[in-house]
A and B are shown apart, each in its own frame.
Chain A
Amino acid sequence: DTAVSQTPKYLVTQMGNDKSIKCEQNLGHDTMYWYKQDSKKFLKIMFSYNNKELIINETVPNRFSPKSPDKAHLNLHINSLELGDSAVYFCASSYGGDTQYFGPGTRLTVL
């Protein structure tokens, strides 16, 4: 009965590769988010979707492309991975402006 789940939990890849991270929530929420937490533990929002519509798009390289096929899923595709992309990526969801619930995170390591 996991609320917000992400796959994979760990991702190790080479520079230049393309990878995807998937997120699913079973809370009935209508808003989903991607956050990046860097090595200094600073958590920063990247994207947000409300009812499959992109509503927040922070200053993120266009190598990052989110996609929300439905309200319960939000994926993140990253092209041409760079060393600086190494971080923990958290998915979160909420109902409108209510409390955001975070997934377990995906630790991405780019070699």
Chain B
Amino acid sequence: QKEVEQNSGPLSVPEGAIASLNCTYSDRGSQSFFWYRQYSGKSPELIMSIYSNGDKEDGRFTAQLNKASQYVSLLIRDSQPSDSATYLCAVEPPSGSGGYNKLIFGAGTRLAVHP
């Protein structure tokens, strides 16, 4: 079983719509969760981090965490063509499992926002 799973996509949404990206993880003790955006040929850049159950909003982005279901999601409101990229979910496992600052990445979901 993969440690962090994401639908590879592509997820295609029209401009102005809400894009919903999902991620599940296997290590129940994980405490820190991150969403990175990666444009083609570029390096990953942090979009959101979330540590507690519930929602966290930052501009057009909302991260949602449900530890009981081992599920984290990213919503992008008013999607723009410039949001077209691969979105990587990353999870930091408990430090006791050799997880000191270690991030486990999912394979990423490719988002395509069309005008």
Contact = CB atoms under 8 A, between A and B. Distances in A.
Given A45-B102, A56-B102, A40 B107 contact: yes
A103 B43 contact: yes
Contact of B101 (A42, A48, A90): A48
Interface in A20-37: 31, 33
A101 B104 CA distance: 15
A65 B100 CA distance: 20
| Size bracket of the B interface | 20 to 34
Interface string B82-115: 0000101000100000101111110110000000
A66 interface: no
Interface in B34-69: 34, 38, 42-46, 49
A43 to B, nearest CB: 4
Contact of B102 (A40, A48, A99, A102): A48
A56 B43 contact: no
Contacts of B103: 45, 100
Contacts, number: 52
A90 B92 contact: no
B26 interface: no
Contacts of A41: 38, 86, 107-108
A51 interface: no
A75 interface: no
A97 B92 CA distance: 9
A90 B103 CA distance: 13
Contacts of B44: 43, 90, 102
- What are the 9 tightest A-B residue pairs by CB atom distance, in nearest-first order? A102-B43, A43-B105, A102-B44, A97-B101, A42-B107, A105-B43, A55-B100, A104-B43, A99-B46
Interface residues of A, number: 23
Interface in A62-105: 90, 94, 96-97, 99-105
A44 B100 CA distance: 15
Nearest to B49: A99
24 contacts: A33-B101, A41-B38, A41-B108, A43-B44, A43-B88, A48-B100, A48-B102, A50-B100, A50-B101, A55-B100, A55-B101, A56-B100, A56-B101, A56-B102, A97-B32, A97-B92, A97-B100, A97-B101, A99-B49, A100-B103, A101-B46, A102-B43, A102-B45, A104-B43
